[in-house]
Structure 1
């Protein structure tokens, strides 16, 4: 096992680059030999010199970088041969390109390949333009770009994945719009300078206990300063006319003027008159034109249109659902798959009390509790409106024939050209996503290691069964993620939303299904038999780290940084303290097995398909993982 040694601290290193790991003033020669032995030189890809040349080419007015040439390497041990390069163990550890009159672009993609890069400072130059993709540099501990001419909005997720970032200085640029909310997700953030920009809106609620220094002075911020920042000096918030609260003056509640009160009263009075008129009109109309007796309809799907989340769980039913005569009977008929299920029709579901469980681009789910009947989940799919009746019914029969303890069985389905509904049993214990990321808000305990291992093993068994029973499908699941894993009372996992790729509109599937977030689709525009394995790998990492995969946060595209890359950026010696979800509880007797499962997850979501395990190998390895180290039971 290789040991990473910390470099000695040099007096010449300035404060803004003092992020280098501390170490002893001398290192025993045997450890130096071990450290040199552990330096692995890749057999492929560009060298550090070549990568830095690319960075130099992207920069205008780069005469200050004349020492960057091929006659000498950038680093000799701790010594730098090139100006602006900070070295450690013969590798480029930092770039300090300050006060050089540089402008142009920063080749972040080349910097990303400098795997040992920990600090970047380009302050006091003439760089301009929009926010560079600095979040590609997941290993950075310090980023300093103050006193340049960067401008525009910094997208909200711009700092996701930068788990090691401690010091950030964006001061004295021309950034505008809101302060990016992903800053509150940086667990090690110590120093943050945003002063001297044009940020608007309110200050995010920073909760990090590590945050020692913050400066947002001279922006265009407003609202109350979060209480967690009240201990900061008042100068940190100066120059923002709209801010209030400690350490500034207390926020004042403005009393409404007399004119405002009169206007509101008039508006409310007019609204009441309009509502009364509408009610009278509807009552008179109902007397003249009675409708079919559908009571309290609460299960109509949301309106078609823009793909967005919805929190409206009780929208009205349309008349086309309840038309009279034989057509009404046809429209309201459910086709049942399970023979042992109590029969009901869509009218009964519409009459039941419904609760919106979730709504997104893929589907909307409702919990329907029927009077003196079972609790069901009705899922309305928004991307199946081009599937013919016979094709849809045949595929539903195929799915209905699947029977496995780790699959949520399909109970019934409903077909109309305009909409498709799938009905399943309601699972009380919720989804894996909720138990990993939302259990505290629901007052539920976290999942311990044995339970998480049991869930992963069950998911693997369910996926294996799908591959065996649906061999004609390239991705038999196609949408494997934590929100599509439901949990029984005994925490047995049930896969949901499986086998639907053939009936999803292909022009929409690319935007909404998980398999189309995979590296092979992003890079090559195709999915393979190993794509579901990639989804399984990401799911394993999510379960062990407790972190939401950034791959699935952005509609229509994968994120620029994913969970696997973040895990790989952490040295294995620090996995226990930095990567594993601390809410798994005591894992001292299981660390070896947890590490084993984490490595399996990384092998499953390997970006290079040739190196990625196939499903058979992945399942065999998963089943070998035990709850405790050296447990032969």
Structure 2
């Protein structure tokens, strides 16, 4: 019996030893990562499907990056990336044991709880992206103990507390985003002067109060936009902000700031949108004079006049004044009658002109547009357009308008009457209204986009946006020349680009063959788009994000020089109450994309993170869209195209995935490029280099994608 027990004991020890040995065969980094798997309550079934505790290393697990470290025997974990995977759980403190972890990317999930203080024991961390989760608690004090920390984005969470003064110790920090959290209180002086390397600061959407600290002007490395909007900052603007780099844009909107806007340094480069919704702010560039906001002798004089009128009214109106009022009334009635008769005869004698520029259905000819006879100038509604197509006479939906034609560009000279009398032709119609080609009296054609009739209560906001767009000047961006505002009409007047858009050049318009674009022409177009987009991101007054870049809003002139159109348009459309998602890409261009080729599938040029509803556009969206456009130039295929092996026309292939699969399978370059280019690009490394730029732009993780400035610089090297 004892002998049997002895044997059983030996077998049990063997099994225990075997099991322990099986577990500990996984590296220490792998064991720390398993704690994260355990901390995820839902959403991890597929995400962690290949995380096996029997593996010897976690370096082959999904979402994990490793590197060979000089003083380590085996590869070590340097990156964790699970962005947008709908993971619900908490961040375990064991991740702090990953000594060589450099990048932690867990944004756009449902992580909750506080950020563990022990996480920052991972001393190699330089980038932490936890934005758009449900994290709470306060900012850990050990954050700035990391010697290499450069990028921190904790935006769109529920983190609270006062602005941490310990951030002065984050001297290597380049990016700090705490937007849309629950921070509160006054920002103390002495923090910003210590953050000499900070390039990006976003504190918007919190509950900060008090004055903006005077030493904020010490952030000499800032670039892009300084975002302090949607807080409770009060008091005067610190003049030191004028000492910030001239390329920095401000967003101080929706606060309680007061006083006159300084006119020194960087302040002089700001548009009105930087200061909107601060009722007590005055001075340029706001349309509110500081003199108007203070009482002066003029107001006293007004009271005195009112007092005299009141006293005179008690004595009754003198007979001479009664006669004068009667004469003025008679003259006014006569003038109104003359105007009515004049308009009647002008409308009766309008002959064959049309409010839409198109003849009756079956007429066969395009008729010119007589703006004045349409009283308000451009067709007022979709029903009017349909009536001219179908037979019945439609009435204009516009009743004149108390509006002005405002020239943004000093070189543009055109009076409203001239614009309304000019011949105009309908280029296309979309959910946003109608776009016209208008030939002015001097023979210069312009494109006129009608935005709609809404938004009459948002005049200042509309004008501020238009003026910001008008300040954009780049040879690869469509130039806005003027705008017209009236309560019942809003128009944008821009350059007319004569050679259609990139979509029709690559794929042809209805009934026409596509242009045979040579490789040198395609490379020229790609470089031009990249330069224009980099300018909008880095150098334009508002640091614009396009948000909807695609071939249909890339216009071409007769030399195939590209022009980016429709930037900033979504904001204007939303002000007027229309739906920007229906844009046909018409501003400054010719026929819309959906009239040129079969309709593109929804979101086919948009980044993966842009397809989730409610997400705000970012520059990295544009980078992805540009990458798709570049792939389209290289392959001649749209962003989604019918599978050649499919028996139905409803099966589509994603261009980005198709290209990446082709490179993984090491297919010949001739199988991937546009057949029109095969003979021309034999033996050229330029095309391969362009493919690599496009694939970098279309990385799934937005943080990995390069900036457009870098993309443009890399493209300029190709073929030079």
- Using the size of structure 2 for normalisation, the TM-score is 0.40
Compare CA radii of gyration and give the structure with the larger one: 2
- Using the size of structure 1 for normalisation, the TM-score is 0.45
